[in-house]
Amino acid sequence: MLCFAPFLKLNFLGSSLTFMMLYVWGRRNEHVQMQIFGVLNFTAPYLPLVMLLLSAFLGNSTTIDMLGIIAGHCFYFFEYVYPKVAEIRGWRIKKVLEPPEV
C-alpha cells in the first residue's frame, strides 16, 4: 500500500488498512452470515464489496478502499493459498511471507 500511496496522492492509509483486514477476515471466516441495515443478508467474504458499494453510494472515493482490497487479496494469497499449492506441487519456495531466521 505504501508503494502506491504517492502515485495515488493518498496521505492517510487507515481506510485501506481497514479494508485489507476486512478482506482477510472475510476470507478466513467464509461461513459467517452478515446482515446490513436488517435488509441485505450475505456471507463474510462479500463484506468488503458491500462496504465498497456503500462507500460509493455515499459519494466517497473508492480508490483508497480498492487499494486495501487489493492489498488484502495479495496478503491472503501469499499467506494462505500459495503455501498449500506449493506443497502440493513440490515447489522449493513454500512460504513467501515467512520472516527470515536469525
Classified as helix, coil or strand, 36 is strand
Q: Give the C-alpha separation, 51 to 54, whole Å.
A: 5
Q: Confidence band (pLDDT; 50, 70, 90) for 92? A: confident
The answer to pTM > 0.95 is no
Tens of pLDDT, residues 38-72: 888 999 999 999 999 999 999 988 888 898 999 99
> Smallest Cα–Cα separation from 71: which of 12, 2, 3, 1?
1
pLDDT at position 7 over 90: no
Classified as helix, coil or strand, 90 is coil
More confident residue, 44 or 13: 44
Between the ranges 1-5, 20-24, 93-97, where is the mean pLDDT highest?
20-24
What's the pLDDT at 4? 64
Tens of pLDDT, residues 24-35: 999 999 999 999
